């Protein structure tokens, strides 16, 4: 995902053509009241809300097709298997690959990265080898590599953060060497909103002979992904941040990489022949899918991808950037408020992270909650980011396709109230 710039004289309000009022009607939860006020849901980087179409796909699957997959020869098992494998094909199409065998179902981004660290890392990384990460990474794209480094004696190295919340990429060349086995970076920062120039980074990584893992947890939600043109070797993402259910996500990798990797977990489904002391493995993708999978989750994730395609997935980032521009303008008028991340909204996805001089991030979130406004406060599982900017926590508003400019105004008005209580 490259930055989306609006035309210089485009109206600041909204350059997208999303019909937000019509979309909002698809999300039952958005008509809830919270603490006596209409809900303003601005915690989308944690998880998105789910449209009726996804809820109906999940309940329809359980109501009419439920059975275990790849097992029975009965009709329901056939239907469940078709729905499950059809969902895999849907994810493959979303990622721009024609080979559904390259799509491994996981619980989400976290499990996808752990799979790579454990299986690929265990087979390919040894003492003295290096893995390059950045100070922007979610703990999901940091701790699995720390565990691998502790097991193997490999060394972790870090791309630093510049003052403006972008990666200090001028330092990348120095970090890459013949010892570098893998570079693992997020596509979009969950705590700063920064969109990273993955395509350019990919060329540098490949020139150095290393592989590139892209954490797409925050990237896939905002714009369509084409793994080949992105230059990723591994791509990990979660359904729940893109209108799908929790507990389902996927790892994509090139077939030859997956073929060469050992299994991640052992159990049913992932074997071909089992004897007392040895077994052989099933073909891709089943080699990496031990046990009964999250069938309804896969069905829901496919429905979410259909939904996003239907509304115009390529429009979402532009809509969020219009909301971010509006929010940044309003927040810049609140006394004692400091924002983090790129000043240019076209270099961000829909995230605004900030602190206020007098109020702790948790106090801000509590006061906003009393007005029906949901934001997240804390380190956002990015403690290296907090350390870099010298704060223990930030408050974070994160926008999605169904958020409106009126909601941004309610949020900013409520921050004015926080300021008057604490200021
Ligand atoms: N990577 C990034 C960049 C993320 O933002 C998250 C979740 C993950 C990985 C992990 O995804 P999971 O689906 O496996 O949990 N981020 C957040 C967040 O910002 N607030 O709550 C979860």
Q: Where are the alpha helices (DSSP H) in 164-312?
A: 172-175, 198-207, 227-230, 255-260, 295-311
- 3-state SS class at 344: coil
- Strand arrangement of the beta sheet that strand 103-106 belongs to: 103-106, 249-253, 234-238, 211-215, 180-186, 130-134, 155-159
Q: Is 381 a catalytic residue?
A: yes
Phi-psi region of 215 (alpha: psi -120 to 50; beta: other; left: phi over 0): beta
Given 381, 383, 389, 409, which residue is catalytic?
381
From 46, 218, 222, mutation site for ligand 1 pocket: most ligand atoms within 8 A of C-beta: 218
Q: Give the pLDDT of the chain (423 residues) as one tens digit per residue.
A: 654 443 333 334 666 789 999 999 999 999 999 999 999 999 999 999 999 999 999 999 999 999 999 987 899 999 999 999 999 999 999 999 999 999 999 999 999 999 999 999 999 999 999 999 999 999 999 999 999 999 999 999 999 999 999 999 999 999 999 999 999 999 999 999 999 999 999 999 999 999 999 999 999 999 999 999 999 999 999 999 999 999 999 999 999 999 999 999 999 999 999 999 999 999 999 999 999 999 999 999 999 999 999 999 999 999 999 999 999 999 999 999 999 999 999 999 999 999 999 899 999 999 999 999 999 999 999 999 999 999 999 999 999 999 999 999 999 999 999 988 987
Class of domain 54-309: alpha beta
Measured distance CA(260)–CA(398) in Å, rounded: 39
CB-defined site of ligand 1, < 6 Å? 45-46, 108-110, 138, 140-141, 186, 190, 215, 217-218, 238, 376, 380-381
Q: Per the confidence metrics, is the pTM higher than 0.95? A: yes
Q: Tell how far the Cα of 159 is from the centroid of ligand 1, in angstroms.
A: 20
Measured distance CA(358)–CA(345) in Å, rounded: 26
Phi first, then psi, for residue 214 (nearest 5°) are -110, 125
- The tokens of 76 are what? 């329901």
For the chain, give every domain's residue range: 20-50+313-422, 54-309
Architecture of domain 20-50+313-422: Alpha-Beta Complex (3.90)
Measured distance CA(170)–CA(168) in Å, rounded: 6
């Amino acid at each position: 995902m490259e930055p989306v710039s609006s035309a210089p004289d485009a109206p600041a309000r909204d350059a997208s053509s999303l019909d937000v009022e019509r979309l909002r009607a698809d999300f039952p939860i958005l008509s809830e009241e919270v603490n006596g006020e209409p809900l303003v849901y601005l915690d989308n980087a944690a998880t998105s809300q789910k449209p009726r179409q996804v809820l109906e796909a999940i309940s329809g699957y359980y109501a009419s097709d439920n059975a275990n997959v790849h097992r029975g020869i009965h009709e329901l098992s056939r239907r469940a298997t078709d729905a499950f494998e059809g969902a895999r094909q849907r994810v493959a199409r979303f990622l721009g690959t024609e080979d559904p065998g390259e799509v491994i179902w996981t619980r989400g981004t976290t499990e996808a990265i752990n799979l790579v660290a454990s299986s690929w890392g265990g087979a390919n990384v040894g003492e003295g080898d290096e893995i390059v990460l950045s100070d922007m990474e979610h703990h999901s794209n940091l701790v699995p590599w720390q565990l691998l480094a502790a097991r193997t004696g490999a060394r972790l190295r870090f791309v630093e953060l510049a003052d403006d919340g972008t990666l200090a990429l001028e330092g990348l060349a120095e970090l890459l060497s013949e010892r570098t086995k893998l570079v693992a970076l997020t596509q979009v920062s969950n705590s700063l909103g920064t969109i990273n120039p993955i395509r350019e980074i990919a060329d540098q990584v490949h020139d150095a002979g290393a592989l590139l893992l892209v954490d797409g947890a925050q990237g896939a939600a905002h714009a369509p992904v084409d793994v080949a043109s992105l230059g990723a070797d591994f791509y990990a993402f979660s359904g729940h941040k893109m209108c799908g259910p929790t507990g389902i996500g996927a790892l994509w990798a090139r077939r030859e990489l997956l073929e060469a990797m050992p299994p991640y977990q052992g159990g049913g489904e992932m074997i071909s022949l089992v004897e007392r002391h040895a077994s052989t493995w099933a073909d891709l993708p089943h080699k990496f899918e031990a046990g009964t999978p999250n069938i309804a989750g896969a069905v829901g994730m496919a429905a979410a991808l259909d939904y996003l395609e239907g509304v115009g997935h390529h429009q979402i980032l532009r809509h969020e950037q219009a909301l971010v521009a509006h929010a940044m303008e309003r927040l810049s008028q609140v006394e004692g408020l400091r924002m983090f991340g790129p000043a240019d909204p076209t270099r961000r996805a829909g995230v605004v992270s900030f602190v206020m001089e007098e109020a702790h991030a948790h106090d801000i979130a509590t006061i906003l909650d009393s007005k029906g406004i949901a934001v997240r406060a804390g380190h956002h599982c990015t403690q290296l980011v907090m350390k870099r900017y010298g704060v223990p926590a930030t408050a974070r508003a994160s926008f999605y396709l169904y958020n409106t400019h009126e909601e941004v105004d309610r949020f900013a008005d409520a921050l004015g109230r926080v300021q008057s209580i604490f200021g």
